[in-house]
Amino acid sequence: MEFQISKEQKMMKDSIKELVEKEIRPYVMEWDEKGSFIPDSLIEKYAEMGMFGITVPQEYGGMGLTAFDAVLAIEEIAKVSCLAAYLVFELNVGPMRVIQLFGNEEQKKKYLPGVCEGKTIVSVGMTEPDAGSALTDLKTRAVLDGDHYIVNGEKRFVTGGGHSNVYMVYVRLSNVKGAKGIGGLIIEKGTPGFTFGNQEHFMGFKSIPSSDLIFKDCRVPKENLVIQEGGFKNLMQAFSIERLGNATMSLGLAAGALEESIKYSKQRKAYGKEICEFQAIQLMLAEMSMKVEAARLLIYKAAANASQGFPSVLESSQAKCYANEIAKEVTDMALQIHGGYGYSKEYPIERMLRDSRGWPVAGGTVQIQKINIASALIGRRFNQRK
């Protein structure tokens, strides 16, 4: 097993680090305080570097690389800002992959080049008021009427809601209950009958847009159907890739908090010496380092095994669950190392702590991931309804 990244991957990471230090780190605190989205100039630079099309095949304008390459890029940016990493996450391992892996040629030609250019932002509409972890309870209905589907329903907590211009929406295509009646439909912003709820205000993720999607007799061309009825398994396979993106955002937070803590411990003095000289600080740094590295290895393993395809449910769930949990623990220890400064908005740790609490809720709770892990280990699904 190879534990070293390639020369090309090292060069990519170095170029991203340079961008982060010049174009992201100086503005992160301002973005968080004002709740403002990243500037268009940064989006343009991402596009120029190919950051939105890392996993998109070259014939559609992408780089044709692997999920592992995308994970490396996301981690590097998320060390400093989840907001700045958000689009790189969504457009490489998010719902765009449903179109890339399951869409027809016309759909790929229509949407993937725009993704690579940063002009087509794709978000996923899954969760509903009464369907979160129990996703197969979703009620949003799409009824075929001639050349269009008539869509009615509501999606909740949609990351990118209101900002993205394309949505991969999980819909019920018939009255068949459970997973068998569910498929996936592309619905573009501006389609008549499609509106947005108010922007959410969360504890963290201050500048990442999120809102409800509201469909009232929304007419969607039938050629926008990507996943046919009964294709719920395909939707969830693609979502396993998104789990890795979620896990990597947590990893980035934890790794960034560790880096900040090492730096601070060598600068801050108490009793006439740097606080890194104290065993209590050393033990916390060592524990933080072990947790970060263990999460990184789980994520890298799942991503490397996925290559251009899907990570296994077992490996993606293990990676997400562990990374989500250690991000909370590591950012909490980082705050303790920073003392009062860690609790202050003048330092990045309190923001990291707030953001770390969102990822275990988003993209499937850690409890659901543990059920997935147990199911994979035992070899059968457990019916939560009985």
Q: What is the 3-state secondary structure (H, E, C) of 149-200?
A: EEEEEEEEEEECCCCCCEEEEEEECCCCCHHHHEEEEEEECCCCCEEECCCC
Look at residue 367 and give its three-state secondary structure: helix
| Helix H or strand E encompassing 334 | helix 313-338
Pairing of strands 182-188, 166-172: antiparallel
Closest to 327 in 3D by CA, of 283, 294, 372, 280: 294
Kindly state the DSSP code that residue 128 receives in the 8-state scheme: B
Give CATH 1.10.540.10 domain extents, the chain.
Answer: 7-116
Q: Which residue has the higher pLDDT, 256 or 33?
A: 256
Give CATH 1.20.140.10 domain extents, the chain.
Answer: 233-378
Q: CA 134 to CA 131: how far, in whole Å?
A: 5
The Cα-based distances of 77 to 24, 25, 73, 183, 280 in angstroms read: 9, 10, 7, 33, 30
pLDDT at 306 over 90: no
Average pLDDT over residues 307-333: 92
User: Is domain 122-230 given the CATH code 3.40.50.300 in the classification?
Assistant: no
User: Is domain 233-378 given the CATH code 3.90.1170.50 in the classification?
Assistant: no
Query: In the predicted model, what is the mean pLDDT of the chain?
Result: 94
Q: Looking at domain 7-116, which of 1.10.8.50, 1.10.540.10, 3.40.190.10, 2.60.260.20 is its CATH number?
A: 1.10.540.10
Q: According to the model, what pLDDT value does residue 382 have? A: 80
Q: Which pLDDT band, with edges at 50, 70 and 90, does 308 fall under?
A: low
Give CATH 2.40.110.10 domain extents, the chain.
Answer: 122-230
Q: According to the model, what pLDDT value does residue 44 have? A: 95
Contact between 182 and 173 under an 8 Å Cβ cutoff? The reply is yes
Q: According to the model, what pLDDT value does residue 347 have? A: 95
* Residue found under tokens 């007419």: 219
